[in-house]
Amino acid sequence: MPQRTGELPPFKKPKLASTTLPLPSGSRRAMLLTTPGTKRHPSSSSSLSSSSSSSSIGIDSQRRSLPIFQARGTLLGQLRTLDCAILIGETGSGKTTQIPQYLYEGEIGRQGIVAVTQPRRVAAISLATRVSDEKKNELGKLVGYTVRFEDLTSDETKIKFLTDGMLLREAIGDPLMHKYSVVILDEAHERTIHTDVLFGVVKAAQKKRKELGKLPLKVIVMSATMDVDLFSQYFNGAPVLYLEGRQHPIQIFYTKQSQSDYLQAALVTVFQIHQEAPYSQDILVFLTGQEEIEAMTKTCRDIAKHLPYGCPQMVVMPLYASLPYSQQLRVFQVAPKGYRKVILSTNIAETSITIAGIKYIVDTGMVKAKKYTPQSGLEVLAVQRISKAQAWQRAGRAGREDSGFCYRLYTEDEFEKFDKMTVPEIQRCNLASVVLHLLALRIPNVLTFDFVSKPSPEALQAAIEQLALLGAAEKKDDQLILTPLGKKMAAFPLEPKFSKTILMSPRFHCTEEILTIVSLLSVDSVLYNPPSRRDEVQAVRKKFISSEGDHITLLNIYRAFKNISGNREWCKENFVNSRNMMLVSDVRAQLRDICIKLSIPLESSRSDTWAVRRCLAYSLFMYTAELQPDGTYATTDTHQPVAIHPSSVLFHCKPACVAYNELLHTSKCYMRDLCVVDADWLYDAAPEYFRRKLRAAKNGP
């Protein structure tokens, strides 16, 4: 193993930057609520570790040390009089944890519940835990949370953290949101698909409640950075309140030349910093996904063993959504004396969590995001460039407690060509779930719904067609409505294709098996694959592997897990994530309850996996591929070239026809989570759909 890791990519002279974007456009309407230089205690920010934090200075002292504390009176005075406000404040100013408490303490919105939405479940849970600690109250009483398949609230709950998707689901049953007096839409700059739909839903609820003379609904939109003009105009000229905290300077470095291999550039940069900086200063590297992070974790650990004498020790920690919770928590622990912590993370570390001790940021400028082409019906998870707003969010991670450094592995000219803001998810993904939700909300015309950023008419039309093919929607008197099947599909907190799978299962007498498979696909991966123990993993997994594909393999693993009553030692020996597996059991129980409410017969096909695969084929017919004469695969409908992902049990096989869950685009287009199906089943499932595709193929473009 070499002692040197190559030369650092040549960097341009640094620029000084603050931890936040400059005051946003439209800031002439903004009111400055705090003064620069407000002191902030390092552990005050919300983070995954918040549940365990209770420093010697005490929680009350921490609350008073937050930048937002000085603005409390002014802020409450403003929010008391406003129906709607846009609040811009840097991450760590305390806005997410304190504003719900200020509203409650100031008796604003006491008549109902204060809802605070988060794009990620991990943030909703950790924030609720933190705020309940601050209120010295048991979690689930005054302060609670609701995330998909998990509800920790009670009749006493007055401050409720929940994912944007869960509030949207609640709105289906109650479009006026009667139980809420305040809705806080947090992390709005992330522009997730659910948050964007919620903007329209809460705006409509607020207007309708006013017209009916009901209890007013207060709406607060919060963000670290945002296109202020767009949101202020959308909410009828709502005023912008700007929270400013202490800004530690960050030196920004750009590379002199464009980097052809951002992974190699990141590796070299990490070790150059490691050999020159004091060991107490930690490094955070932004990468795009699990495979990339695991591979670089192994490389870093290997190189660190062969560094020259006198160099600090290195502890390398991966961080991504599907990592076991206990291992995610490790990133918040202080490194042992003489060690430097190097965290390799996806964009999970951009906004929703805060890690103390970070002095250096290495930003590859890349992210994995969904891209959808309505014309081809192709939705892929692709690696792409971040936006300028994301770049500033990443840089700001280094200036939380002190001055910091950010190494951007791209040139300044490249940075100037980045999009200003992240393209909203609603403009780059399949809208089938959105349209299903809107129809369930009894929106008269989904094509004219009041979106903040309108998706293309083609994308909406493609979603309508997809729902029609699934039998969920139909035209009646020139109006699009949900069919009885569609109403049942909307009852499940799942993608339409999975709701349809469950509803199809009684036909094949395999509902119990389908509930298990859908539950396994609805949580983060239950399989743990440490790269350093690849051979060992393959050896123990052999007994579960099915030649019929990943779905049946997962079913085998779950059955074995249930047979040993969820034994943790068994999970460890078989490289199974026990926490995620327990979550699968919870999810399955809730889906089963929904089935019972809908009077769906619960039958088991037992060892008959043919019935299970046929059921999957009947609902995933739009997500299938066939083997071509040259040994490659092409999707059944659009003939897009695709390949089997290396993580699949079918990687070394060549089945004639497969159904898959998603496409991942890296060096090529990979199919993930596969099931062997019969081509004839597909044509039986949707004859008109395939006849139309066949005609289109014959007629050419």
Q: What is the pLDDT of residues 328-359, one digit of tens each?
A: 778 888 999 889 999 999 988 886 566 888 99
Q: Structural domain of residue 123, as residue ranges? A: 63-242
Both tokens assigned to 118: 């988060």
Q: Which residues, in sequence order, are CB contacts of 571 under 8 Å at separation 6+?
A: 561, 577, 578, 581
Task: Give pLDDT, residue 149.
Answer: 78
What type of residue is 437?
A: H
DSSP string computed for 349-416:
GTSS---TTEEEEEE-SEEEEEEEETTTTEEEEEEEEPPHHHHHHHHHGGGSSS-EEEEESS-HHHHH
Reported pTM: 0.79
pLDDT at 605 over 70: yes
The verdict on 285 and 339 lying in the same domain is yes
Q: How confident is the model at residue 697 (pLDDT cuts 50, 70, 90)?
A: low
Examine residue 57 and state whether it is found in any structural domain, yes or no: no
Task: Give pLDDT, residue 38.
Answer: 36
E-assigned strand segments in 58-168: 84-89, 113-118, 143-147, 150-152, 159-163
The verdict on 273 and 207 lying in the same domain is no
Examine residue 452 and state whether it is found in any structural domain, yes or no: yes
How many distinct structural domains can be found in the chain? 4
The verdict on 482 and 612 lying in the same domain is no
The verdict on 317 and 360 lying in the same domain is yes
Domain boundary among 425, 444, 477: 425
The verdict on 679 and 531 lying in the same domain is yes
Domain boundary among 491, 514, 537: 491
The domain spanning residue 471 has which CATH number? 1.10.10
pLDDT tens digits, one per residue of 435-479: 999 999 888 889 889 999 999 999 999 999 999 999 999 988 888
Domain boundary among 189, 224, 242: 242
Task: Give pLDDT, residue 530.
Answer: 77
Q: Which residue has the higher pLDDT, 110 or 520?
A: 520
Cβ atoms of residues 47 and 353 within 8 Å: yes
Distance, CA of 188 to CA of 373 (rounded, Å): 25
Three-state secondary-structure class, residue 97: helix
Task: Give pLDDT, residue 434.
Answer: 92
Distance, CA of 326 to CA of 306 (rounded, Å): 29
The verdict on 368 and 402 lying in the same domain is yes
